[in-house]
Chain A
Amino acid sequence: MNFIEPAQEELDGLRADPLLWEQELDVRPEFAEAIERAVGKRAGRVYWRSARHHLYALELADLGRGRPSMAMVYGFWDRYEPRPPEDEIDADLLDLCEWLAGVGGLNPADVAKVAQHAGIRSAGIRSAGIRSAGIRSAGIRSAGIKSAGIKPA
């Protein structure tokens, strides 16, 4: 995962749109702990940018259980403009899910297959911001993105 630190001036011009809200992240404690190791923090935000240059953040909350317990995924859009096309967001979130699967001990290929079976398609260009080593995709993925602290499967 290539996390970035967006400038405050950029964030000031965007609105944070909650896309996924996980109230029970530690319903699978080992999964929550793996995410903490992958992002390097138990609470707070990490940002990344997708291939379409959409900015996203994963925000973790620590409720005192010794691991992150809640999580929110935000997309950041122009402050007063509508969301980008939903299929673009889907493609980016699907990349996130595959990365999470790799981090959390699931098989990212299973995520891709389940998505395919459900008719959820990426828009053809996959996110540049998140990449788990070992994930194969029919889409175009940018090289050079590494998962911090994650060994290739």
Chain B
Amino acid sequence: MIATFLSLAPASIGGALEFIFTPQDSSVTGGKQVGGFDEVLELTLSQLELTLLALGLSLLVALPLGLYLGHRGSGELFAVVIGNVGRAIPELALIAFMAAAIGVGVLNLTIALAVLGIPPILANAFVGIHQVDRATVDAARGMGMTEFEILRKVEIPLAIPTLFAGLRGATIAIVATATIAPLAGVESLGDFILGENVYGSNGVLAGAIVVALLALTLEFAFAGLQRLLTSPGLKPRTT
């Protein structure tokens, strides 16, 4: 390990930071310059766009279904199995299969990523709603609330932590897989990470750093959103 560290053309943090901000010569002699803030930003936005599209699609499909089933209390096995199986889907195989079967491109990739995002959102939506104290729900029903009102005013606010846990799980899976989007013909920060040939080892490290920052930023954003949406009456969880 040490020998490899010493002998590889060193990718240094300084080199990576330089890559992020100023264009460099490509590793391919005579090639165009690469790197620099514009290109980094472009690929970051591309990955962000892909992530948000996939999240949106996942929420659209999984959230209503999960909330409904959780409220009804039926389909527990279904939700649990989906949650577990979803976790088991190998990302590389999914991307490769989608690329070979339905083709490359943003639209197709969004569907593939949604396949990864749906299980955690669905399972957590179900569990979050279902685990709301029955006595509380009954009390609300006794007060004359409609089923929809119960869901909206009682169950969802109480399930916020669990719902957000599902959302964050989906985001992490989607961001991670969006990183290898270049394999399926869509630009993302994975272009840097998988493209040592063009971007050099500094570019690879730079890509990894920016992806990590992107993931952490989204995480913070959702954590903040969760805090915002958590009713002040509820004790803040140490999540």
Are A and B genuine complex partners? Answer: no
Q: Which residues of A contact B (CB under 8 A)?
A: none
